[in-house]
Structure 1
Amino acid sequence: MKKTPFLVLVMLLIGVSTGLSHANPLEGLAAGVKALDPYTLEGEKNFLSGHEPRNPDGTVTAVIEIPAGTNDKWEVRIPDGNMVWDTLDGKPRVVKYLGYPANYGILPKTVLSKKMGGDGDPLDILVLGPAFKRGQAVKARIIGLMRMTDKGERDDKLIAVVPGGPFGEVKNIAELERQFQGVTLIMETWFRNYKGPGKKITTSGFAEVDEAQKLIDEGIAEFKAQIPGK
């Protein structure tokens, strides 16, 4: 198979000129998402507890916090399930680096708990391909995970593709590396460096689907234990 040209690879990974980085960050929201204030979003369904993490067809549900190619750092908050604009030094946080290399979000009804070595937030997921809208619930297929730690805490990222999308035929990490050479390197490089020099972020390669599914099982169980009835 011919190597995919690097520029084409990057364009596939994040989409071409997404148009979702605005002076007004409340533009470009998914249908049914409303702003409670300039820094808080509420979904038609609760972002954390209103969607099932797994679907009958074998896909998962990814709730998009940060569209590919954008830099505003939003996150779903536990326990209320609203999406909030993260702050740094009292100001809305904008990542001062290249735009996110994939759609970044969470797997609802999961948590990477302290017991699991994590930070107590929902499981993170990267959905490869062109940008989705902030707050959008996307059906995606898991192909593996990226092993990562941040300040000594486990911070693994699930990796997923969208059936019918540019990466839709990829089944696992081995196929991703073979068919789209450089994508895993782009993701590792981005996450090791996006917070700037001297930050304690490490990546230690990628794992295949079985390990990713095991992490999802554990994350679902921890959510049920911490937030019963949701």
Structure 2
Amino acid sequence: MQKNYLYEPTFVTSETINVVIEIPAGTNKKIEYHKTSKQFLVDKMEGVDRIKPYLPYPANYGFVPSTLSDPAIGGDGDPIDVMLIAETLPSGTIIEAIPVAMLRLVDEGETDDKVICIPANKKLRTVDASSLAEMNTKYPKALEIIRLWFEFNDAEESIAVKGYVDASEAIQEIKICQKAFQIKN
């Protein structure tokens, strides 16, 4: 029986979360975890692999398990998304992470926030910052790269970037999405 990544625990501690990697940093392939087959597959549009015709993903992209961005309140109906700043990790990796910020986005009229994280394991980190303030001080261009990537990576999507919020707001949003998942399941 294959593992169902959607049902992994959301929180490891009160300040760290589990992250499931779907898309390794450095690829242009739009890889998604499929709920029914329980596999990580390149998403298809009209039978053709979805490849981002832009720069590759600047960080590992995935989701927080056991969460739901509730469509009833404007969410996209998927688990809350994550950008994990670390070296490339393969699809299916589950990693303990520290939320440092969240990029607020609206994609095609739906809330599509991205939690920005670093690995909890210091040996896996590529940046040394554990808050939005530290990221702004030490790595402001990294945040700018991520923001610009989401703003311009897909000319066919209408994305409105609302800006960054700090870790406490990110954790609060994760808890809201965790509760929505619990209610639905």
Q: TM-score, normalised by structure 1?
A: 0.74
Q: Tell me which amino acid in the other structure corresponds to 1:46.
A: N
3-state SS of 1:176 partner: helix
CA contact (8 A) 2:82 2:114 kept: yes
CA contact (8 A) 2:40 2:91 kept: no
* Stretch moving more, 79-88 or 95-104: 79-88
CA distance in 2, matches of 1:115, 1:81: 25
Partner of 1:205: 163
SS of aligned partner of 2:9 = coil
SS at match of 1:48: helix
* Alignment match, 1:185: 144
Seen in structure 2, the aligned counterparts of structure 1 residues 199 and 88 have a Cα distance that, compared at 3 Å, is same
Deviations 1:102-125 (A, max 9, x none): 100010000101123111011100
Cα 1:80/1:116, change in 2 over 3 Å:
farther
2:115 maps to 1:155: no
CA distance in 1, matches of 2:182, 2:4: 16
Judge conservation of contact 2:22–2:31 (CA < 8 Å) in 1: yes
- SS class of match (2:140): coil
1:79 Cα offset (Å): 6.2
Q: Which has the larger radius of gyration?
A: 1
Q: 2:62 & 2:29 partners in 1: Cα distance? A: 13
CA contact (8 A) 1:48 1:82 kept: no
Larger CA deviation: 143-152 vs 52-61 = 52-61
Higher helix share: 2
Whole-angstrom CA distance in 2 between matches of 1:199 and 1:72:
16
CA-based RMSD: 1.7
| Inter-partner Cα distance in structure 2 for 1:79 and 1:141 | 29
Question: Structure 1 residue 58: deviation in Å?
Answer: 3.1
- Confirm or deny: 8 A CA contact 1:48 1:81 kept in the other structure: no
The CA distance in 2 between the partners of 1:107 and 1:52, in whole Å, is: 9
Report the Cα distance in structure 2 between the residues aligned to 1:195 and 1:218, rounded to whole angstroms: 28
Partner deviation per Cα, 1:45-95 (whole Å, 9 max, x = no partner):
31111x211103732111000000111111123466543321112211111
> What do residues 23-62 of structure 1 show as CA deviations (whole Å, max 9, x unaligned)?
xxxxxxxxxxxxxxxxxxx95x31111x211103732111
Report the counterpart of residue 85 of structure 1 in structure 2. 42
Map of 1:81-120 to 2, 5 A cutoff? 81-120=38-77
Identity of aligned residues (%): 31
For residues 77 and 36 of structure 2, what CA distance do their matches in structure 1 show? 11
